[in-house]
């Protein structure tokens, strides 16, 4: 069974690269958690695709990242939420602050048009995936092996449709906590770069 372990909040791997590559992570939800799909939808809003908040705000509007996205992992006994970004080393502190601001804003109510758009995107991706036989086999086999239960596409679509803005807000309040933040950076970063003090939500 998963046991929570104590790790440093910040890890820097010095490397002579053009970009600084960062991963900012928080504890997520395990595979069998009833709010798993709620977290998946929250992640769509945060950082999946070109219409996500991270892409439009950090990359398009602020020009702070060459690439940026977020993703979730659901394991049997734990999970994670991770933001990846590739930025100019000189922009690293301001990029981290901007990412954390987007995480903080998820604790506020998501506007209905944005919620609807995220739901349609989630359902569309699922339905597109089901057009490939190998993906269908992986979808069904993975569920059977890992959970002992197979949810149909229609069931998952119904779950997504039923998620409310308030449920998203409550889950964000629960998971997006400053004490859970962990940051890893690879790049030409100075040893005295005060990054750990930025890790607040």
Main-chain phi, psi angles of 141, to 5 degrees: -65, -40
Tokens (6 digits) for 126 = 């699922």
pLDDT at 142: 92
End-to-end CA, the chain = 29
Main-chain phi, psi angles of 25, to 5 degrees: -125, 155
Average pLDDT over the chain, rounded to an integer: 94
On the question of pLDDT at 62 being above 80, the answer is yes
pLDDT cut 90: percent of the chain above it:
87
Give yes or no for a contact between 118 and 69, defined as CB atoms under 8 angstroms apart: no
Q: Which residues pair with 126 in a beta bridge?
A: none
Q: Which residues pair with 183 in a beta bridge?
A: 10, 24
DSSP 190: -
Q: Which residues pair with 81 in a beta bridge?
A: 26, 72
Angle between helices 112-129 and 153-162 (to 10 degrees): 170
**Strands 182-187 and 67-74, sheet pairing:** unpaired
Convert the pLDDT of each residue in 67-76 to its tens digit: 999 999 999 9
On the question of pLDDT at 5 being above 70, the answer is no
On the question of pLDDT at 48 being above 70, the answer is yes
Convert the pLDDT of each residue in 96-144 to its tens digit: 999 999 999 999 999 999 999 999 999 999 999 999 999 999 999 999 9
pLDDT at 26: 97
On the question of pLDDT at 2 being above 70, the answer is no
pLDDT at 194: 84
Q: Which residues contact 44 (CB under 8 A, 6 or more apart)?
A: 52, 118, 121, 122
pLDDT at 177: 94
Task: Judge: domain 10-110+168-192, CATH 3.30.830.10.
Answer: yes
Q: pTM here?
A: 0.93
Distance CA 163, CA 23 (A): 28
pLDDT band at 1 (very low <50, low <70, confident <90, very high): low
Domain extents in the chain: 10-110+168-192
Q: Which residues contact 59 (CB under 8 A, 6 or more apart)?
A: 65, 66, 67, 68
């Amino acid at each position: 069974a998963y046991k929570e372990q104590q790790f440093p909040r910040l890890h820097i791997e010095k490397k002579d690269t053009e970009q600084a590559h960062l991963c900012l992570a928080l504890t997520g939800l395990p595979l069998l958690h009833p709010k798993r799909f709620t977290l998946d939808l929250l992640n769509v809003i945060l950082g999946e695709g070109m219409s996500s908040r991270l892409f439009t705000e950090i990359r398009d509007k602020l020009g702070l990242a060459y690439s940026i996205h977020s993703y979730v992992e659901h394991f049997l006994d734990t999970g994670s939420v991770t933001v990846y970004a590739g930025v100019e080393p000189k922009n690293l502190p301001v990029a981290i602050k901007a990412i954390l601001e987007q995480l903080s804003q998820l604790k506020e109510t998501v506007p209905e048009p944005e919620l609807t758009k995220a739901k349609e995107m989630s359902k569309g991706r699922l339905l597109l995936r089901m057009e490939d036989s190998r993906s269908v086999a992986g979808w069904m086999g993975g569920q059977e092996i890992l959970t002992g239960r197979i949810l149909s596409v229609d069931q998952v679509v119904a779950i997504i449709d039923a998620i409310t803005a308030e449920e998203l807000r409550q889950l964000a309040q629960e998971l997006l906590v400053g004490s859970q933040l962990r940051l890893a950076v690879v790049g030409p970063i100075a040893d005295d770069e005060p990054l750990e003090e930025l890790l607040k939500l």
